[in-house]
Chain A
Amino acid sequence: MKSLSPSELSRRLSLYIDHQLGDQELREVERYLESHPDARKELKELQGLNSLLRAQKRVASDGAFWTRLSTNLEDRLREQRDLLPFPRKYIPLVSTLAVVAVLAGGTAVFRNRLPIVHYLTAGSGAVKSAYERGILQGSILPLLTNLDNNQVLQFALRGTLPLDAKSETALRIDESAKTGYRIEVGKTPHPVSAPLTMDKFYADIHATKKQESTIDSIFDLARRQLQACVLVGEHDEIAINPGLPQVGRAMVSGIAASLEERQRNRFGKLLEQVDAPYTFTSRDLPAADPEHVFDVIRNVPRPDQFVVVPPDSDMARRIHVDIAGVLRILERMKSENPQSGDFQRALEARRARFVQQFSRAYASRLPGEVEGNGTPDSGGGESMFFSIELHHEPVAGFHDASPVTVVPRLRRMPMFVTPLPEHQLEPEGNSSPSVQGATPRVRIFRVGPGGIVAIEISDSGTDVRRLVMPPKVIREQPETPDHAPQVPSQPQPR
């Protein structure tokens, strides 16, 4: 019998100890156990775990429980009796008073509606919604709260945002005119190219002081948008807003619009040199009004649904998050916290923990055995990442409003290396059945030396299906030519 993946083995052994396997599967598992010492060891540990759990302390019987409960029930019944109908002659009076009270209350609420709405959304909307769906549980916070202008520039020009101090873990975006966006989080074993700096950027495009000031403002606005696009949850789930790539587009458009024609040409050449994900088509326009540029950045379309990927499961969902509410709370926390240094350090610690935990948990969920110590880059030097592929969403209004038309450009070094044609993906043995009539709008790939797990989710957030592609199939994929246009592919170490 062929080797089982760790998750499949755990599933079968769990059913085995609960006597839930059918005859044939039982025989298969027993044969497997005979020939696999590791599986026997796991079974022994599971049985040991079972014994430990059964031996757990129990609460002592409580003879007075009913006495206290009956007291509580009496009180509850009495409360209900206290609400006995009052004499009917008072009904008109009470009704009138109730109407007056409702009108007065309604007027007060209407006059103070904005503060009330702000209070309610800041306090609970986002979190409640996430809790109810059981995905983004516990505290959530924006992951990208400490970006500096150089990093924002890196995103605008290269589509990459570092998630750790050494830029080993990064978030990347790429876009194809045909298929849509890919947003990818992962590790690369090789360092990225030399970082870009604002000073060098301004020198390269020969920006005037006034233009520098405008572009600085663009970056400030873009930083806020980026902050609102990536969240991390208490259990190290990552939540990404599908509108993230639009921020990059809007920045390129805004920078280009702020420049004069010759500077704009230099900017265009710079985009070529750094192999940027975007370029712009209209180069002979006069410089745009900065306020218009700022408005475009402020109004980058961000859907209120985030794609949430937990690190320790193959689940993915789209959920609503009131990000404005979350950011308001964060700002309030910052302003109310007298020791802002401690607060910032706490944020940094949380971010560092996320990167470490996500990488570790993510690696352990990859199909097949991950050799080495379980860290993502321990599998023979291959990069490991997950990638979210999103179909193009209607953002025509946004593109029309952009002062300069921005388009995806063909990159010399493709960000993604392996196309994943659907017909080559075989459903995993225990995969969820396809949901009839549900169109996959988001595909998530987890890629590593053990193979690829693909998850497709529909518009409604339904988990459409899970598929596994073993490493053999990946190796048999033809390599994508460097200039192959518009093919969804996977990242290459750069």
Chain B
Amino acid sequence: MELHSFDGSLALDPPRKSFGAGERSSVTSIYQHRTRVLPDSASIPHTETDQSLAAKSDEALITMFKAGDRHTFKLLVERHQDRVRNLIFSIFHDPAVVEDIAQEVFIKAYEALDRFRFESSFYTWVYRIAVNKSRDELRKRKFRRFFSFQNLDEGIAEELEARIAVPPADRDTAELVTLGLKTLPEKFRTAIVLKDLEGLSYEEIADVMQCEIGTVKSRLSRARAMLRKALQPLLQEI
């Protein structure tokens, strides 16, 4: 299928699997300006009214989905999209990435929901997908930087150090915390985001990160110690 973007140039089918930085804006523009081929409900049929569905639990909606009522997926997405988007944002701090990864997460959830075994809640399950997708993206980014020796000395830690050294009145606290989070290795960053930003319990974090609770405790403790060290001047003023 050929799609034409807004400026009339030829574009290929939506490159969903590509996360290259250069491709994101073009993908968004295609979606914004193209004509919909099918209406929302043409191939995602529903049997009950939205109102009665809205009262149902996640588990009930999933059961209906597995029985063939694909429309229930919309409610699941609407219930959890903000949390998933926030989680991805907290890991990347890049709004451009949030849209692409969140879309990928829910497409993956849609494809895998038939195999959902009710062993965890839907939102920890979908969080797990989000964490795995984010991890994939981080790996891709790091892989692209492999053996890239440019700007070796201009790391995030150095940037944080420079910005935190300015007079308190000139500091942007939120930005410093963001930089501090970025200095953490991925496993530690994800653990602290899930706990302190998303408010998950230790058990839920263990489920999302697929590790033992003891590991969660250790990662959280170390993440906090590292972040506290990185943001020391800021914390001393609180």
Residues of B within 8 A of A14 (CB): 217, 220-221, 224-225
Query: Among residues 348 to 399 in chain A, which have CB atoms less than 8 Å away from a CB atom of chain B?
Result: 349-350, 353
B155 → A minimal CB distance (Å): 9
The reply to whether B145 and A139 contact each other, CB–CB distance below 8 Å, is yes
Which of chain A's residues have a CB closer than 8 A to the CB of B90? 56
Does residue A69 face the partner (Cβ distance < 8 Å to B)? yes
A345 to chain B: closest residue by CB: B149
Alpha-carbon gap, A346 to B150, bound state (A): 8
With the chains together, A221 CA to B37 CA distance in Å?
Answer: 65
User: Which of B147, B173, B217 has the most chain A CB within a 10 Å cutoff?
Assistant: B147
CB distance from A55 to the nearest CB of B (A): 7
Chain A residues near B146: list those with CB within 8 A. 127, 138-139, 329
The reply to whether B44 and A69 contact each other, CB–CB distance below 8 Å, is: no
- Whether A53 touches B197, Cβ cut-off 8 Å, given contacts A10-B221, A76-B107, is yes
Name the B residues within 8 Å of A55 (CB-CB): 174
B152, A138: Cβ atoms closer than 8 Å: no
Within 8 A of A (CB), among B21-51: 31, 36-38, 40, 42-44
A49 at the interface (CB under 8 A from B): yes
Please, which residue of chain A has its CB at the minimum distance from the CB of B158? A353
Given B152, B186, B195, which contacts A353 in the complex, CB threshold below 8 Å? B152
Chain B residues with CB below 8 A from A65, complex form: 77, 81, 85, 102
Interface of A is mostly: helix
Judged by a CB distance under 8 angstroms, whether B61 is at the interface is no
Question: Is A54 in the interface zone, CB < 8 Å from B?
Answer: yes
Residues of the B chain whose Cβ atoms lie less than 8 Å from the Cβ of A199: none
* Chain B residues within an 8 Å CB radius of A48: 235, 238
Closest A residue to B89 by CB, please name it. A59
C-alpha spacing A489/B152, complex, angstroms: 38
Q: Annotate B83-116 by CB proximity to A: 1 below 8 A, 0 otherwise.
A: 0011001100001001100110011001100000
Give bound CA distance, A335 to B224, whole Å.
43
Which of B38, B86, B103, B152 is A346 in contact with, Cβ under 8 Å?
Answer: B152
Of the residues B40, B139, B232, B235, contact of A70 by C-beta under 8 Å: B40
Q: Is the CB of B195 within 8 A of A18?
A: yes
Tell me, in angstroms, the Cα distance from A353 to B217 when the chains sit together.
Answer: 30
* 8 Å CB contact of B74 from A7, A70, A134: A70
**Contact A343–B149 (Cβ < 8 Å):** yes
| Count of residues in A whose CB is under 8 Å from the partner chain | 62
Q: Are A59 and B85 in contact (CB under 8 A)?
A: yes
By a CB distance below 8 angstroms, the chain A residues around B221 are 7, 10-11, 14-15
Contact present for B178 and A56 (CB under 8 Å): yes
Is there a chain A Cβ closer than 8 Å to B208's Cβ? no
A198 contacts B by Cβ under 8 Å: no
Q: How far is the CB of B76 from the nearest CB of chain A, in Å?
A: 10
Among residues of A, the one whose C-beta sits closest to the C-beta of B237 is A48
Q: Once the chains bind, are A49 and B74 in contact (CB under 8 Å)? A: no
Which residues of chain A come closer than 8 Å to B148, judged between CB atoms? 139
User: Which B residues are CB-close (under 8 A) to A235?
Assistant: 185
Smallest Cβ distance from B40 to chain A, in angstroms?
A: 5
Partner of A54, one of B16, B95, B196, B225: B196
A66 interfacial by beta-carbon distance below 8 Å? yes
Q: Chain B contacts of A79 at CB under 8 A?
A: 13
A77: Cβ under 8 A from any B Cβ? yes
A474 CB–B CB distance under 8 Å = no
Q: Does B164 contact A (CB under 8 A)?
A: no
Chain B residue nearest to A313 in the complex (CB): B222
Q: Are B235 and A20 in contact, with the CB atoms below 8 A?
A: no
Which of the residues B110, B187, B202, B228 comes within 8 Å of A49, measured between beta carbons?
B228
Contact A52 B220 (CB under 8 A): no
CA distance A137 to B149 in the complex (A): 15
Docked Cα-Cα span, A18 to B218, in Å, equals 13
Q: A59-B95, A139-B145, A350-B152 are in contact. Are A74 and B37 (CB under 8 A)?
A: yes
- Is the pair B186, A137 in contact by a Cβ cutoff of 8 Å? yes
Cross-chain contact A62 with B217 (CB below 8 angstroms): no
Give the CA-CA distance A137 to B185 in the complex, in Å: 9
> Does B192 sit at the interface, judged by CB under 8 A?
yes
Nearest chain A CB to B71 CB, angstrom units: 10
Cβ of A61 within 8 Å of any chain B Cβ, yes or no, is yes
* Min C-beta distance of B215 to chain A, whole Å: 10
Across the two chains, which residue of chain A brings its CB closest to B138?
A137
B192–A53 contact, CB under 8 A?
yes
B236 part of interface (Cβ distance < 8 Å): yes
Within 8 A of B (CB), among A38-73: 42, 44-46, 48-59, 61-62, 65-73
Query: Is B160 part of the binding interface, using a Cβ–Cβ cutoff of 8 Å?
Result: no
**Distance, CA A455 to CA B103, complexed state (A):** 43
Contact of B235 with A45 in the complex, beta carbons under 8 Å = yes
Would you call A72 and B95 a contact (CB within 8 A)? no
* A90→B185 CA distance, assembly (Å): 53
Residue A333, interface by CB 8 Å: yes
Within 8 A of A (CB), among B111-170: 111, 139, 142-143, 145-150, 152-153
Cα–Cα, bound, A224→B226 (Å): 37
Which chain A residue lies CB-closest to B30?
A71
A295 CB-CB contact with B under 8 Å? no
Interface centre among A45, A131, A141, A235 (most CB of B within 10 A): A45
CA of A330 to CA of B107, assembled, Å: 39
A72 and B16: CB pair below 8 A? yes
A27 contacts the other chain (CB 8 A): no
In the complex, which residues 74-88 of chain A have their Cβ closer than 8 Å to any Cβ of chain B? 74-79
Across the interface, do B147 and A330 meet the contact criterion of CB distance under 8 Å?
yes
In the complex formed, the residue of B with least CB distance to A47 is: B238
Bound complex: CA A74 to CA B222 (Å): 44
* Residues of the B chain whose Cβ atoms lie less than 8 Å from the Cβ of A312: 222, 226
CB-based contact B43/A68 at 8 Å: no
Question: How far in angstroms is the closest Cβ of chain B from A218?
Answer: 29
Does B59 belong to the interface (CB within 8 Å)?
Answer: no
A416 to B52, CA, bound (A): 75
Q: How far is the CA of A10 from the CA of B217 in the complex (A)?
A: 11
Beyond A49-B231, A53-B192, 11 additional contacts (C-beta under 8 Å) are A52-B238, A54-B196, A55-B174, A58-B89, A59-B86, A75-B13, A75-B16, A124-B143, A127-B146, A137-B186, A138-B146
What are 30 A-to-B residue pairs whose CB atoms are below 8 Å?
A: A7-B225, A10-B225, A11-B218, A14-B220, A18-B195, A18-B220, A20-B202, A46-B224, A46-B228, A51-B238, A53-B192, A53-B196, A54-B197, A58-B86, A68-B99, A69-B77, A69-B106, A70-B44, A72-B14, A74-B36, A74-B37, A76-B16, A79-B13, A127-B146, A235-B185, A313-B222, A329-B146, A346-B150, A350-B149, A353-B152
Q: Which 3 A-B pairs have the closest CB atoms?
A: A346-B149, A48-B238, A14-B221
